[in-house]
Amino acid sequence: MAQMHNNLSPAEGIWSLRRLPHMDEAQFSQWQTLLEHRTGITLSAERRSFLETNLGIRMREIGCNSYQAYYEKIVSGPDAIREWSTLVDRLTVQETRFFRDPDAFRLVADYVLTRPREQLRKRPLEGWSVGCSSGEEPYTLAMVLNECMSQLELQPLFGITGSDISKPAIDKARDGLFNPRKLMGMDEELKTRYFRPAERNTVEIVKSIRERVCFTRLNVLDLDQAPMHGMNIIFCQNLLIYFRRWRRREIVRRLAERLAPGGLLVLGQGELTDWQPPGLQRLPSEHVLAWIKRQTDEE
């Protein structure tokens, strides 16, 4: 019986069998504003049913029966912070996979392979995957860097940080266990080198890669609080597409500040148009949107 699930009272259980309450225009606008204010994500009118469904599921789980009551819980309830953290995970698109954008990773490899060898030998390369979801992107970056170092016959001197607003996504990334579906399209040799079969039909990233990658929870709207500086590679794909144009620019400007001179910034195709970020030099690639940070005396 539905009443038996999720610790709902019988009355709440009956409610859970009913249809979702209708969300009126003012309520939709209130949720849109809250989500954008706190995460940067804009929800178009076409995504109202997505919002209704996901709020509805969560409201049923906790036995809350109106959008307004749930809104109050999120903005001023005693457990507001924790509840928001659960909700934000439900309202963000977390789709990802290993080597999702092969051209972009090829560009990263070219970038590393053409750096002065002496620099690579002496200073660890620092990479950052912003909006890393469950970790496939930062682990891919680690594999690419590892391949480059091995090709150059250098010690694997590099570290990658993955950051995301979603705590469950970060927890999953830290576990390093993946459904083999996430490896679809990957080179067989790389699969064998970097994954091992693990529990319940999952695959596990090998330790040598895992220990080069760390994860942290970070809202990209709070970049001021991020301790990352002097990054050699910043990879930020499929996050800014949910943001308004002015905000994308603002975030790119801030990410650029976190790059080391000569560092590489990679976004998703089409995520930033008609604007040249100051201090960055666009790389001439047809398929990848990427820039190099100018050395200060070039500015």
CB of 126 to ligand SAM, least distance (A): 18
Locate 201 and state its tokens.
């039909």
CB of 174 to ligand SAM, least distance (A): 14
In the bound state with ligand SAM, the residue whose beta carbon lies nearer, of 160 and 220, is 220
Using CB under 6 A as the criterion, which residues of the chain lie in contact with ligand SAM when the complex forms?
Answer: 39-41, 92-96, 100, 131-133, 137, 164-166, 169, 219-221, 237-239
CB of 38 to ligand SAM, least distance (A): 8
In the bound state with ligand SAM, the residue whose beta carbon lies nearer, of 27 and 39, is 39
In the bound state with ligand SAM, the residue whose beta carbon lies nearer, of 126 and 164, is 164
Residue 205's nearest CA partner among 102, 94, 98, 112 is 98
In the bound state with ligand SAM, the residue whose beta carbon lies nearer, of 125 and 221, is 221
Distance of CA 210 to the CA centre of its chain: 17
Spatial distance between the Cα atoms of 266 and 255, rounded to a whole number of angstroms? 10
Please list, residue by residue across 232-260, b when 16 or more beta carbons sit within 10 angstroms of its beta carbon and e when fewer do: bbbbbbbbbebbeeebbeebbeebbebbb
* H or E element, residue 124: none
CB of 96 to ligand SAM, least distance (A): 3
CB of 161 to ligand SAM, least distance (A): 13
Give the CA angle between residues 35, 93, 207 to the nearest 5°: 125
In the bound state with ligand SAM, the residue whose beta carbon lies nearer, of 16 and 39, is 39
